Chains A and B, each alone.
Chain A
Amino acid sequence: MTDVSSSFLPASNTPPKSATGQEQKWVPIVLIGIALAFLALILYIPAINVFYQAFHKGFGPFLHNLGEPNFQHAARMTLGLAAIAVPLNTIFGLCTAWALARKRFRGRTLLLSIIDLPFAISPVVAGLMIVLLYGRNGWFGPFLQERGIQIVFAFPAMMLATAFVSMPFVAREVIPVLEEEGTDQEEAAYTLGANPWQTFWRVTVPNIRWGLLYGILLTNARAMGEFGAVSVVSGNIAGKTQSLPLFVEEAYKSYDTEAAYSAAVLLALLAVVTLVLKEILERRTGGHLKKTH
C-alpha cells in the first residue's frame, strides 16, 4: 500500500503561491453556501414537507398515531430487523474489507463489483429472489413445507431481504479507509509482539472506526427504511409481519395521510439515532486521538 504522507508531499513540491488570508475567509462561506443550497433543494425542502404533513394538524394526531398497537408492533418489528441485519452485515463487511483491502489479485475488481451488486438489484427483484428460493414453489419450498418451517411471509424472509439490501455498506465504507490507512501501525504492533487478534481490535478497528461507523449508520438506516424487498416477502399482515415502512404504505393507501407521515417521521428519527452513537464515540475517543497526533 502507498504511504499516504509521502505520496502527498511531492504534490506540494511545485512552488507554492502565496496563500492569502482573504481567500481563507470567503471560501468556506461560499462552499458552505453552495453545499447547503444543494442540500436544501434535494433534501431539506422535501424533508420539511414530510414533517409539515405529519404535524400540520398539531401534535395530537401524531401522538395518537404513535399509540396505535399496529404501529407499535411495526416499530418493534423494524427494530428487530435492524438488530439482526446490522450485526450480520457488520461482521461480513469487516471480514470482506479485511480480506480485500490489502491484497491485489486477479478478479479483485470483479469481486468488489459483485459485492456492490445488491444495491443495483431492484428491491422488488431482491424480494422475488427470496420467494424463488423459499416460497411455496421455490427451490427449498417443498423441503420447508414438509417440516412446517415458514420462511416467506414471516420474519426470516423479511430479515433476509433486509440483510440483502443493506449488505455492502460496511465493506464498502471500510475498504477505502483501510486502503488509505496502510499497514504501518499493524506492523508496528506485530513487532511489539501483539497477536493478530489484539492487533485487529487495538490497532485496526480504532483506525477504521469512522468508516466502520458510517457503514453501520448506513446499514441501519437502509435496513429500517427498506420497503420494496420486504413488501414482496412479508405478506404485510398488520400486527404480525408488518414493518414500519409497510405500515406507512398501508396507512397512506387507506387515506390516513397523517398516520402515514407520522410513521415516516418516526422512522427517519429512528434511523438517525445511530448518530447518537457516533456522538458518544466522538466524545469518548475523539479527544484521545487528537492528543496523540
Chain B
Amino acid sequence: MSRWHNLLGRWGHPVASLRYRVGLSALNRFVSLFLVGAVLSISVAACSGGNTSSTNASSPGASPASAKQDVELTLVAYAVPKAAHDAIIPKFQEKWKAEKGQNVTFKQSYGGSGSQTRAIIDGLEADVVHLAIGADVNKLVKAGFVKDNWTKRVPNNGIVGETVAAIITREGNPKNIKTFEDLTKPGVKWVTADPKTSGGARWNYFALWNYAKKQGADDGKALEFVTNAYKNVVVLTKDARESTDAFAKQGQGDALVNYENEVILAKQKGEKLDYTIPEVNISIDTPTTIIDKNVDKHGTREVAQAFVEYLFTPEAQREFAKVGFRPLGELGKEKEFIEKFPPVKTLGRIDEFGGWTEAQKVFDDGGKFDEIRAQIAKS
C-alpha cells in the first residue's frame, strides 16, 4: 500500500483540488448499487438452479417415495427432429412408468450433427443420440463411445428417421426445375448448405452424385456433373436451416435443395414453399443409438435401449411422420402417408457408395469436394 503512496508521491507536486470530497458519497452509492445488483442476480441464478432441479424431479408426478429410483436420460440430437422427440418423449415416459413404475426425465440437446458428435467425444454425457449422418456415429465408434455392433442391436440398422432430398422452387416453378439435372443448367441459380459444415448438405452432394450414377455416368462424369451443379450455387450457407432462409426470406436463387422433412416442417410452421421430390433420389438415413460408454457409467443402459427401440415402434414413427419423416415399415402404406409422401421411383442408398466410412472421405481435406471447389474457383 505504502509502495503506491511512495510511487505516486514521487510523481507529484501538490495541486489544490477539492473534487474528491464530493465524489465520495456518489461513488459509494454507485458501488453499493452495483454490488447489490450483482448479489441479487447471483442469488436469483442460484435459487433458480435449485428450483429447476426440484421441478424437474417432481414434474412427471413423482411421489417422494419413488423419487429415489428416478432415472435421467440425456438425448443429444441434430436440430431437425426436435419436434418429433418433443412429442415422443412424453409417450415413452408414460409407457415406462406403466411398465416399470419408474419415472424417466429427459434432458435434451439439439444442434448441428457434427458439433453434437464433437461435444460427446469431448465429454458431453449423452445417453442416446440421434444424428444426421452415419459418419458422425462412426466417429463415436472410433472414439470408443459406441460399440461397433450398433447397427445390429436395433431394427432397420439403427436408421430411425428416413427422408429424401427435396427441390424447393419459386412459386409456380418458373424455371421448371424438377430433377437434379436441372440444377446443372446454365442460368439456374440454387442454394444449399455447405457440405463442409452441414450434415444435410453432405446428403445433397450424394443426391447429385447418385443421380449422375443412376444415369450411367462413371466416376469422372459424375464428378463433372456434380461440379457443374455446384458452379450454379449462389449461396453456401452454414447449415440447412439457414439455406431455407437464404432462399425463402432473402430471395436467393431459383431453387433450394434440402431435406424433405425439413421442408414439411417449415411449411407446418408457416413458411410458404413449393417443392418437388425428384424421382431419382437418395434415401437420407438418420441413425440413432445408445452411447455404450455413458449408459454403463450412468447405469441407464436398460432404459436407454428401451427408448431407442421405442423410436422404431409404429407409435413413435407416427410422430416422426407427422413432422415430415418418411415412416418406416407398414406405417408408410397408410393412405394418409401415401398422399403426404410422393413415391420415389429410383431410390439410392449411401451403402452403394461404400457407406459413410467411404463417403465421408469426399469432404475431408484434399478430397473430391475440395477438387470441386478448386474447379469452381478457376472458372
Contact = CB atoms under 8 A, between A and B. Distances in A.
Interface in B303-328: none
B65 interface: no
B173 interface: no
B38 A188 contact: no
A281 interface: yes
Nearest to B27: A206
B110 interface: yes
A187 B11 contact: yes
A126 interface: no
Chain B interface size band reads 35 or more
A269 interface: no
A281 B28 CA distance: 11
A133 to B, nearest CB: 11
B54 to A, nearest CB: 12
Contacts of A189: 20
B353 interface: no
Contacts of A240: 52, 107
A292 interface: yes
A230 interface: no
Interface stretch (B263-271, B332-340, B361-369): B263-271
B27 A79 contact: no
Contact of A201 (B27, B34, B46): B27
A183 B20 CA distance: 13
B347 to A, nearest CB: 26
A159 to B, nearest CB: 11
Contacts of A250: 79, 82, 110-111
B16 interface: yes
Interface in B122-172: 122-125
Nearest to A216: B34
Contact of A153 (B4, B18, B31, B123): B123
A254 B83 CA distance: 7
B270 to A, nearest CB: 8
Contacts of B38: 83, 86-87
Interface string A235-269: 11111100000000110111111000000000000
Contacts of B16: 188
A150 B270 CA distance: 41
A80 B27 contact: no
B138 to A, nearest CB: 18
Interface residues of A, number: 69
Nearest to A124: B115
Given A184-B17, A206-B19, A206-B23, A253 B79 contact: yes
Nearest to A255: B269
Interface stretch (A109-117, A166-174, A283-291): A283-291
A235 B13 contact: no
B98 interface: no
Contacts of B42: 80, 83-84
A183 B13 CA distance: 10
A277 interface: yes
B37 interface: yes
A292 B42 CA distance: 37
Contacts of A87: 38
Contact of A188 (B2, B15, B31): B15
A203 B15 contact: no
Nearest to B241: A253
The B interface, classified by DSSP as helix, strand, loop or mixed, is helix
Given A83-B42, A253-B241, A254-B83, A190 B8 contact: yes
A257 B265 CA distance: 12
Interface in B234-264: 239, 241
B41 A253 contact: no
Given A187-B12, A202-B20, A250-B82, A255 B265 contact: yes
Contacts of B22: 206, 288-289, 291-292
B44 A196 contact: no
A131 B48 CA distance: 26
A285 B45 contact: no
A253 B31 CA distance: 41
Contact of B44 (A76, A183, A280, A281): A76
Given A207-B23, A250-B110, A131 B265 contact: no
Contact of B17 (A185, A194, A254, A284): A185
B121 A136 contact: yes
Contacts of B269: 255-257
B1 A196 contact: yes
A253 B266 contact: no
B29 interface: yes
A195 interface: yes
A45 B76 CA distance: 37
Nearest to B30: A281
A137 B24 CA distance: 51
B30 A284 contact: yes
B1 A195 contact: yes
A94 to B, nearest CB: 11
Contacts of B241: 252-253, 255
Contacts of A80: 41-42, 44-46, 48-49
Given A76-B48, A187-B11, A285-B27, 20 more contacts: A80-B49, A153-B122, A187-B12, A187-B13, A188-B20, A190-B12, A191-B12, A191-B14, A196-B1, A202-B24, A216-B34, A237-B74, A240-B52, A253-B241, A254-B110, A254-B265, A255-B265, A255-B268, A257-B270, A285-B23
25 contacts: A69-B52, A73-B52, A76-B49, A136-B121, A153-B122, A186-B12, A187-B8, A187-B11, A187-B12, A190-B5, A190-B9, A196-B8, A202-B20, A202-B21, A216-B34, A237-B109, A240-B52, A253-B241, A255-B241, A255-B269, A257-B269, A281-B33, A284-B26, A285-B26, A288-B26
Interface of B: 1-2, 4-5, 8-9, 11-24, 26-31, 33-34, 37-38, 41-42, 44-46, 48-49, 52, 55-56, 74, 76, 79-80, 82-83, 107-111, 115, 119, 121-125, 239, 241, 265-266, 268-271
